[in-house]
Amino acid sequence: MNDETNDALRQAKDSQQDTSRAEVVTRVHSGNKLTARERVDLLLDPDSAVEYGSIAAKSRDGQWIAETGGVDFVGTIDGQSAIASSTDYTDHGGGYGAGRLGRLFGLAYEHRWPVVMFVDGGGSRARHPRTGLGHIETSGPIGRFSFLDGVPELSGWVPIVAIVSGPSFAGHASLAGFSDFLISTPGSAIGMGGPPMVEASLG
């Protein structure tokens, strides 16, 4: 790759770091919460985390938007390899791209890696021109797994842990429900339809 491409990749990665989002980080901390990256930093062993798909993005209405509203890592927990996924509700409500999750579940199945998911947010990156609701952007099989059948198939094969520390709706709630172990903090909420979806449905 040439220097221009390297610089562009470096800038794209830097833009996803907490140090480049000081205002957002301050807002998260003011609510006595941790950012998506800070959660993973506390979970994984020091210097073990390798980020997955940090600059994956897709074009929507001419705007390039990160494929997933969150961060995903492969690392170790007490020396054991594991996958850590942490949704970021400050990034489009923490909406995820089903494709990336499917590929992560595939890695977990292949290597028998435990999966830990922080699942705060409003579900998939769905959009309708009027309501903002709609379909899962990446549907159908992604390798071995599609979006939601991945977690049930992993259950019993590797440990699946979900942690809810805020609102968790739609697909996020499904991931929590399919997990082997669910941890929820005081003030968290789990439901299949969040307030915007209910409001749009009632008209």
Q: What is the C-alpha to C-alpha distance for residues 5 and 11, in angstroms, rounded to an integer? A: 10
**Residue 13 maps to a domain:** no
**Residue 169 maps to a domain:** yes
**Residue 128 maps to a domain:** yes
Beta-bridged to residue 168, according to DSSP, are 121, 190
Domains in the chain, number: 1
Task: Give the residue ranges of the chain where pLDDT is below 70.
Answer: 1, 4-22, 53-69, 89-98, 123-148, 194-198, 200-201, 203
Range of the domain at 107: 33-202
pLDDT at 29: 82
pLDDT at 45: 98
pLDDT at 68: 54
pLDDT at 137: 42
Q: What is the C-alpha to C-alpha distance for residues 107 and 81, in angstroms, rounded to an integer? A: 11
CATH code for the domain of 112: 3.90.226.10
Choose among 117, 131, 129, 128: nearest CA to 171: 117
**Residue 150 maps to a domain:** yes
Contact 150, 171 (CB under 8 A): no
**Residue 56 maps to a domain:** yes
Choose among 119, 123, 141: nearest CA to 132: 123
